[in-house]
A and B are shown apart, each in its own frame.
Chain A
Amino acid sequence: MFELIAQHFAWVQSPVVLARQTLAGVSNGMLLFLISAGLSLIFGVLRILNFAHSALFMLGALIAVSVAALLPDPLAGFAAALAGAAAGLALLGAAIEISLLRRIYRAPHEMQLLLTFALVFILGDTAKLIWGPEEHSVAMPAILAGGVQAFGLVFPLYRLFLIAAGAAVAAGLWLILYRTRWGILIRAATMDREMLAALGVNTRGLFTAVFTLGAALAGLGGALAAPVVAVGPGLHVQVLIDAFAVVVIGGLGSVLGAFIASLLVGLVNAFGVLAFPGLAVVLTFACMAIVLVVRPRGLLGTAE
């Protein structure tokens, strides 16, 4: 019995495997952060759980596919794809907030959930109409395609790039939230929207801006993920569940919580695949269920 278990966990002693899985876990975690940061920010300020956030991520990846195909130079194409996806989703996000979400801030929870749920179906099918049901891919630019030799194994360069990109976005968000006036307003809105409005702040515009920022982050995440995932209409389903778990574990409305939880879920998935093959999804849910039962507000969330 013990021998079997020892055999099963033999990889624990292998530094190569540990390093590889850690890298995979952290880089996937960074991608998750790009989605869940926006999701968490939006919930914190707008108090709406945006089911459609993963659909925005998928649209970002699809826009990246189209934009990258326009330019002959792969590096310029990739850069344009990132910018295009973020800009495109920012526009779409603003449109969604102004035309739909703005009308339901005072509606009961079921109306809010239903509306963002409807957006999942509408955006998913619209994507299918525009890009077709098949899966697409984006070529990695040549300078990011190779690997780096370290500790006796090869790290894929793109994974390192993802980690750097995630860290850069996290740092940028921190600067916005804690070093600008706008960030102060966002944090104030998370704590007490009515008070903020009573102090004469234009919360209407603030809400639009926050949803736009969240959507742009999702779009950027989708574009960054495009070279390493199969970009198709089914993409948002797997992403949704993980992003959902991340914001619940990290605490709804907390960007730092989303950052920690993203890394946690990324690592749990990466090592769960080795420890309990086929049950990695259950591990994510187990984490989420434990957090919800023991500390329902999440690691860094504020009380209800």
Chain B
Amino acid sequence: MKARHAAPLLAAAAVLLALPSGLTDFWIFITVEVLAFALYAVSFNVLLGYGGMLSFGHAAFFGVGGYTAALFVKQSGLPPALAVACLPLAAMFVSAAAALVIGFFSVRRAGIYFAMLTFAFQMLLYTIALKATPLTGGDDGLTGLKPPGLLAQPLAYYYYTLALTGAGLYLLHRFVSSPFGHTLRALRANPLRVQYLGIDVRAHRLAAFVLSGAFAGLAGAIFALSNGNVFPGWLDWTASATPVVMAVLGGTASFLGPALGAAVYVVLEVLISGRTEYWPLAMGIIIVILVLLMPEGLTGLWRMGVVRRGARAAPLPTREAR
């Protein structure tokens, strides 16, 4: 992590730590949602922004994490202190296992075919969630979930979420800064060349897919217990666009851009869907504006502003051209 990033990051951490004292329970709940989706969007963007892999079925892992957390608090019967520690690990483990199976088939293809494969597997999991009623509650989902022990208090759960999201983002950042992460970026730029260098392309893609799936599952688990329920709708086809929108909204070219996108998306959804039932229409219009006018996302706009004010240079080239 570069030194120039340290100050803003520390400031952000301080704000997040102090935030609950200035917020009502409702907004603490929303902030938990923002943090969970921030982790979800960043984990998704490790695939898209770094590896150039468009997963259009990432909601599968978010949903698997959510269902795992729900079943864990309902069925495991562990003492609360132990459950608090094991819950994230269980969710990550099960999502990683799901990602291993789905990824095994999906990473063989690239581009739009990869997107379609992941989408198809997500729909398959959706059908399972809908039909395996004894396990998943079918159409009704799993409801009445409570975080174990002390975490049942909103404030405690907020700090639990903050710690898990912080740790998740830190680990993902370590991953993308590692040699492995650099290989992943090379894969986005030129897979054929990476292959000629003797690197196993498929294994690298699969490893990235599993890692990304595990953290998406963690995000799903966090959100499930805060929300108090899990529904098959989490795995529905409309859900597959959510992480894509968040990542593109924030900007796929920066590590924390998708987290910003998640925050803006969640707050917009709360504000707009509280006033009208036509939130999908509003979101559709937002996406059209995003795609046509600001494909570099919010961080892209900001960077363009900095470049223009500072060096009077041309705007940054698009992701494709770079």
Contact = CB atoms under 8 A, between A and B. Distances in A.
Q: How large is the interface on A (under 10, 10 to 19, 20 to 34, 35 or more residues)?
A: 35 or more
Nearest to A281: B127
A115 B291 contact: yes
Interface string B77-111: 00000000000000000000000000001001111
Contacts, number: 115
Interface stretch (B7-15, B164-172, B199-207, B275-283): B275-283
B123 A100 contact: no
B115 to A, nearest CB: 6
A129 B237 CA distance: 22
Contact of B292 (A104, A128, A248): A104
Given A103-B292, A121-B281, A304-B111, A285 B287 contact: no
A232 to B, nearest CB: 15
A92 interface: no
Interface in B269-295: 278, 280-281, 283-285, 287-288, 290-292, 295
Interface stretch (B153-161, B208-216, B240-248): B240-248
A282 B120 CA distance: 11
A118 B320 contact: no
A172 to B, nearest CB: 28
A286 B291 CA distance: 33
Given A117-B241, A296-B113, A109 B54 contact: yes
A241 interface: yes
A111 B248 contact: yes
A278 interface: yes
Interface of B: 48, 54, 56, 105, 108-113, 115-117, 119-121, 123-124, 127-128, 131, 237, 241, 244-245, 247-248, 252, 278, 280-281, 283-285, 287-288, 290-292, 295, 319-320
A293 interface: yes
A109 B252 CA distance: 13
23 contacts: A49-B112, A49-B116, A100-B288, A104-B291, A107-B291, A107-B320, A108-B54, A110-B248, A111-B248, A114-B291, A115-B287, A115-B288, A115-B292, A118-B288, A120-B284, A121-B283, A122-B284, A124-B280, A125-B280, A248-B120, A292-B109, A292-B117, A296-B117
B124 A113 contact: no
A113 B244 contact: yes
Nearest to B105: A293
B252 to A, nearest CB: 8
Contact of A114 (B105, B245, B319): B245
A279 interface: yes
A126 B281 contact: yes
Given A292-B120, A296-B109, A119 B284 contact: yes
Given A104-B292, A111-B248, A304 B123 contact: no
A106 interface: yes
A115 B244 CA distance: 11
